[in-house]
Amino acid sequence: MSSSTPPWKAIAARKQASRAARIPSKWLIPASALPQDPPTLQHGRQNVLNVPRQFLSRAEIAITEDYTVETLLLALAAGKLSCTEVVDAFCHRAAIAQQLTNCLTEPLFDAARQRATELDAYLARHGHPVGPLHGLPVSVKDTFNVRGVDTSIGLASLCEKPAADNAPLVDLLLSLGCVIVAKTNVPQTLASLDSVNNVFGRTMNPINRLCTAGGSSGGEGVLVAMKGSLIGIGTDIGGSIRVPAMCNGLYGFKPSNNRLPYGGQALTGRAGMSRTSVQAVAGPIARSVRDIDVFMREVIPRAILWGEDCMPCPWPSPSSSSSSIQGSGPNGELVIGILRSDGNCTLLPPIMTILNEVSMALSGATATTGTRIIVKELLTPRAWTRAQSVMSKLMGVDGGVAMGEMIKATGEPLVPWMQTRFRSGAPQPLERVAELQAQRTQLEREMLNLWSEEEAVDDALTGQQHPRRRRQTLDAIVCPIAPHPVPPIEGYNAVGMTSSWVLFDYPAGTVPVRPVVEADLELGRPLAAGTVLGSWDQKCRELWDEHVTDRRVYLDTPLSVQVVVQRGRDDWLCTVMGVIDEVIKAQSSSTSSASSGGVKARL
């Protein structure tokens, strides 16, 4: 390259060449199998989810498709499958996924194969697994340090600097028997709900290449959707686990703070800054709620042994029956609130439709699953509307100085989406940070009224009533993940429906419902007139304006809902997600036949 070529280009070329060299030649697929780039409506949505099956053996297809986390672990522990054959199958599928979607940053296939060989030898020698997750193929977001490989997070200035040690969470996973098959792609700055950077390029959505794969854990979402990993470890501060799960039709789980070790990751700001603003968390992306439950049951109770930031937290064994769950209803019913809007963005029709469908399914749950559920329509709390503003200001208290310096160090440009959104400036003074934290505390206090109410208690001496205690009146919230469907590339807009729950430190998860069908598009029907609520709302409306966006782009993309519970009730979130998922599937089964008009059933 000429002397005028900025350094980042040479670094990116070397990194991409190194990544390509780590895919065995026998796993390369022909150019004729690759999707058309750039994707257009004329080429169709180019769903590539099942393309790997053309290049896998029957055994590899069975290993990567037919097992849950639970059944795979049982087969490995019993010696019915070897770790080597399982890891080979998942690495092969991950290699194909990389060629189709560009989801990996660091293929770790050689190390994974060596690890699998050691695990097989251990089982043969000792007669028992090395740990409860013996042989489980997992992947981790590029932010996590893995000894001997880069933690570049898609920034040229962080490339070619291998990590000296594993992140605590990586060590925890290894201690339990996991095999890490790859690290996955992220967006530049980690501050985008897409996954594109100058070093590795863009990760593509495998279901619909016209739409975003989500971010910032987009590579994780894609790899798990492509079945190149059974569990993907992402991080979330604005929706970075829940959004990729939505975009790829998966289940995502954002825990409360201090549940999983978060250290040992690439710093995007000054060390310790998150303790003064808002903390991100690590969590899983998976194919089912049960997979999340089984995984977290082993990881969460042991997290305190590895993470200095973790607190003791038991995790009960997964329940076998949702009908035995006791909620806060008058007769033990599960009370679920439907929260439709944050007051900042208008819901586009497919999102309103899917909320209606889920609400109706939950209301009829007793008949379909035996679970007693009370569904409540909730008014938008003022605190939820205001939360996004406070959240955005807290996330920017460091001024983005460190990130700006890392980008400039090698002459990198900002990727297009960030060009109008990223500005580095002076850090906020302590007084301003304290003011924002005070606002946060007030919003947290106001949100309590959503979950419980004061109950008057008779005074035995005077006979008077005094509000002396609070009674739980709500067990969980179902709300949108975004006011729009999975948007076109570069089109993700509003983040308030995910980031606000981080401000409150509420655990939240993604549950997929069904894909967008032709009837959802309401072609030729404009969005109902209404007051534009602000700039976020205007951008959201443009995603439905047929003069701006061809609605056909949304066909087949997943529609999902978000489930939220109170701080610290992480195992309860998993339980409720399981109940809701069971109800949705039961309703889908009972209405699986086409309607009289031939339109696919809603659920």
Tell me: is residue 328 an annotated ligand-binding position.
no
Whether 141 is catalytic is yes
Please say whether the beta carbons of 322 and 586 come within 8 A: no
Tell me: is residue 237 an annotated ligand-binding position.
yes
Q: Strand pairing partners for 512?
A: 560
Backbone φ, ψ for residue 99 (5° rounding): -70, -30
Tell me: is residue 190 an annotated ligand-binding position.
yes
Cα separation of 160 and 178, whole Å?
Answer: 26
Cα separation of 479 and 342, whole Å?
Answer: 9
Where do the H-state alpha helices sit in 347-400?
Answer: 349-363, 365-368, 382-395
Under 8 Å CB-to-CB from 84, ≥6 apart: which residues? 113, 116, 117, 120
The region that residue 446 occupies, defined by phi over 0 for left and psi between -120 and 50 for alpha, beta otherwise, is alpha
Task: Give residue 26's identity as a one-letter amino acid code.
Answer: K
Tell me: is residue 321 an annotated ligand-binding position.
no
**Which residue in the list 240, 274, 322, 359 is annotated as catalytic?**
240
CA distances from 397 to 134, 400, 424 (A): 42, 8, 10
Under 8 Å CB-to-CB from 178, ≥6 apart: which residues? 133, 136, 137, 138
- DSSP state at residue 378: E
What is the CB neighbour count within 10 angstroms for residue 16? 15
Tell me: is residue 239 an annotated ligand-binding position.
yes
Please say whether the beta carbons of 457 and 465 come within 8 A: yes
Whether 240 is catalytic is yes
Nearest to 486 by CA among 344, 350, 339: 350
Under 8 Å CB-to-CB from 542, ≥6 apart: which residues? 548, 549
Tell me: is residue 216 an annotated ligand-binding position.
yes
Q: Residue 294 has which token pair?
A: 């089984």
**Which residue in the list 141, 183, 254, 393 is annotated as catalytic?**
141
Under 8 Å CB-to-CB from 466, ≥6 apart: which residues? 456, 457, 459
Q: Residue 214 has which token pair?
A: 């989500």
Task: Give residue 382's identity as a one-letter amino acid code.
Answer: R
Binding residues for substrate are 190, 216, 237-240
Which residues are annotated as catalytic?
141, 216, 240
